[in-house]
Structure 1
Amino acid sequence: MDPPTILALKQAFLERTTRQLSQPLAPSSAWRRKNDLRGSDRGGAAAAAAEHDRLPPRAVDDALVRANQLLQQHVRRVYAPPALRHVAEQLDQLYHDEPIGRNDGVTDYSSAETIKDLLPAWEDAAEAEALPLEARRYTDLVEQLQSLSAQRTEVHARVQRLRDMALLLGGLGGTAEAPTVQDNLVTRDGPVERELERMRLLLVRVGDKVANLPERPYQAHQTPVGMDVDDADVMDVEVVGQKRVRALLEQY
């Protein structure tokens, strides 16, 4: 069973208090007995004076009926359930909104530090022995409260980590109208992968075209004066490559 909230506790307190204030008015039995005995043990003028001080029971009952009617009207008008709920909500809101802390003499029981410092058991041993159920309930509530506080701390830390991560990765977002660096990352079926596939097919086609071009035989007498044979071979290969590229480009 979940522990009651602050709002539920305050509303229950208001309901108990209003029930006490809503009880019908009635004189005590001691007052009625004293009122009935007035003048009964006296005689003469003293008895007449005491009888004059005595309130007639019928008049007392009529006054009580009228007073209780007014009381019930007041209770229905002032202590209606919606009004009690509204007052409880106001108290609960004030409890959460009021700036409280250790420095001003008021303890904030919603803070993690205060919850951590709560005693694990009822401090007064005599009261704990006299009220075992309340003492046990206090221990259970402290354990549950500290467990929930630890979970809240972990959640706050995780939220902060996610916010920091979102801040760092904010520049990697973007839209189709305003792409960012994310579009340049190599991902499966991404734009870079599609472009690499096109380049691979183009290289295959270019390679086939170059391989099918006619090769020019090497002519030793064309070696320029003062150039070694190895240098001439390198120059001949470059010339052949340039001619093949020009021939390939002329086909498009």
Structure 2
Amino acid sequence: MAEPTITAIKAAFLRVEVRQLETPLEPSTHWRAHGLNPGPESREGRPLLSDKAVQDLVAKVNDKIKQHNRLVFSTQSQRHVAEQIESLLWARTSAAAEHAELDTLAIRKDVDLGDSAVISALPHDYAALHIHPDHDTARNEEGGDGREGQKDAEEQYARLRGELVTLSRQRDALKARLARYQHLQEMTEPLRDPQENVQPNLVTKHGKLAKELDRTRVILLRIAAQLRGEEQPKRRTKRRRREVVPRPPPQTDQEKLGQVLGWTRT
């Protein structure tokens, strides 16, 4: 199903509005309760407005409204107004598109100007901010007001860019300081509860750490004693082997060569 055009949408809207204007008028209940009660009377002794007179008056007003709507808000008139609305809309859209193309910037409109990388990438000069080659030419052709407006825009851009760069640097410095403080806070976290984290690790006379050191010292002494007990029999065995087994006589070079080659002595 094709989407409705702008003319069709506006024409439907106008029909709804005209239909509301064609709704017959009726006196309100409050007015009927107070306006038709016996009140001031004419010279003949009758009420000034009777129910029938009010109904006739309302019927005449409704007829006049219908005639007015048929003349002013005819179907052709509604269609003509809807077409004019569409023409004006497209003309405004085209002008805005041409102006937007001429004023195209080097940065996107949805870019985050709070990002330090984006701030540092902003052009230094206002002229480099517009990427369309005919932007400066079009502004110069506008006359004195256009040139003065461009000069004011250049000064404002330079001022705002400088403030933005300064604030960005200050924020980066504060972020670095915050990171350093957070690191120090993590390092000093064990010191927040000294009774639980610091006191048990201190070497006191009857502290837990002193008892553990005493146990470690006893274990080291036992291990040292066992090692000394095992080394003494080994030394004695080595001495006995040296005394019982005689050393062979030294071999000559020819005997060593014959032993390697498998020669036998004759």
- Asked if these proteins are the same fold (TM beyond 0.5), I'd say no
Instruction: State the TM-score, normalizing by the size of structure 2.
Output: 0.32
